């Protein structure tokens, strides 16, 4: 059976996903902007071999736990090449090791991985940054999948927005142009628990770090060796201010 439907918009319960995909076996592009958790779980599933044409999946998830999402991927999405998801709350979506296992075992053809997660860490021994820093392993770097995050304010460093950074363009945009090519002064405030080892590299894609003459870093720790690295990469710097150092 041939089907021209490519996109589904509006609230859609995940227990109906099985019936949708079963009746449209030639579906190649699936986009659901509000996939909701089901009140009653439906254990019936159909063979994934029916979905060989499905290559692109974009889902905005609402209150769907990561273990349930894993089941959906394992059941339906084995041949997809593009996966884009947006979700909230469940910290398990920030578990890089679980993602690595899921992708390696069930998504062998995946080329583009795009995630947007809004939430925080609760009752977890790891800090928010401990979790998201696991997405810097060779598994992600080798695939040219890179990520960033942001916080609303300093008091909410246990939560934030974690997101992919243009996964579709990293192969052709290794050296992005500076957003502020003429900047010579920079102030960083209320952004991290501590100065990240890659901060200067990240900043260099926004401003030309080598031409900075004034740099102010406020309200987070900076190690002395990181301070030396900043000095090494900013040869024209004549003013540097920071709250304090950690040796």
Tell me if 32 is assigned to some domain: no
Which pairing describes strands 214-218 and 239-242: parallel, antiparallel, or unpaired? Answer: parallel
Q: Where are the beta strands (DSSP E) in the chain?
A: 8-13, 29-36, 56-62, 82-88, 112-120, 147-150, 159-164, 185-189, 214-218, 222-223, 239-242, 245-246
User: In whole angstroms, what is the distance from residue 118 CA to residue 115 CA?
Assistant: 10
Give the span between the Cα atoms of 145 and 48, in whole angstroms. Answer: 26
Does residue 185 lie in a domain region? yes
Largest CA distance in the chain: 70
What pLDDT sits at residue 78? 92
Query: pTM of the prediction?
Result: 0.66
3 located within any domain: no
Range of the domain at 233: 175-247
* CA atoms of 149 and 52, how far apart (whole Å): 34
pLDDT of the residue at 220: 59
Domains in the chain: how many in total? 1
CA-based nearest residue to 86, from 55, 50, 62, 110? 62
Evaluated on CA atoms 231, 237, 242, 244, the torsion sign reads: positive
Return the number of other C-beta atoms located less than 10 Å from residue 94's C-beta: 25
Over residues 80-127, the pLDDT tens digits come to: 999 999 999 899 999 999 999 999 999 999 999 999 999 877 666 578
- H helices of 24-137, where? 66-76, 96-106, 128-132
Any domain includes 187: yes
Partners of 189 in the beta sheet? 218
Please list the ranges in the chain whose pLDDT falls under 50. 1-2, 47, 169-177, 193-194
**pLDDT per residue over 148-173, tens digit each?**
888 765 556 677 888 898 655 444 44
pLDDT for residue 209: 81
Is residue 194 included in any domain, yes or no? yes
- Tell me how far apart the alpha carbons of residues 63 and 38 are, in angstroms, rounded to a whole number: 9
User: Would you say residue 100 lies in a domain?
Assistant: no
Output the pLDDT for position 237.
85
CA atoms within 13 A on the CB side of 116: 10
Domain membership of residue 216 (yes or no) is yes
19 is a domain residue: no
């Amino acid at each position: 059976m041939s089907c021209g439907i490519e996109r589904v918009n509006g609230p859609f319960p995940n227990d109906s996903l099985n019936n949708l995909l079963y009746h449209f076996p030639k579906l190649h592009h699936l986009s659901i902007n509000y996939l909701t958790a089901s009140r009653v779980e439906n254990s019936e599933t159909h063979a994934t071999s029916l979905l060989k044409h499905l290559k692109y999946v974009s889902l905005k998830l609402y209150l769907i736990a990561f273990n349930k999402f894993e089941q959906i991927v394992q059941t339906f999405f084995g041949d997809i090449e593009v996966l884009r998801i947006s979700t909230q709350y469940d910290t398990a979506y920030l578990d890089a090791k679980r993602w690595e296992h899921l992708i390696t075992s069930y998504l062998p053809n995946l080329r583009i991985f795009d995630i947007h997660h809004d939430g925080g860490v609760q009752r977890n021994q790891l800090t928010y940054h401990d979790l998201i820093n696991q997405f810097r392993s060779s598994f992600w770097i080798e695939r040219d999948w890179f990520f960033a995050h942001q916080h609303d304010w300093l008091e909410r460093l246990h939560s934030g927005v974690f997101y992919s950074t243009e996964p579709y363009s990293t192969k052709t945009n290794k050296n992005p142009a500076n957003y502020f090519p003429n900047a010579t002064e920079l102030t960083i405030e209320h952004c991290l628990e501590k100065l990240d080892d890659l901060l200067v590299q990240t900043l260099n894609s926004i401003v030309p770090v080598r031409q900075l003459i004034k740099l102010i870093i406020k309200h987070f720790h900076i190690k002395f060796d990181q301070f030396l690295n900043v000095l090494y990469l900013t040869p024209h710097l004549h003013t540097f201010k920071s709250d304090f150092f950690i040796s």
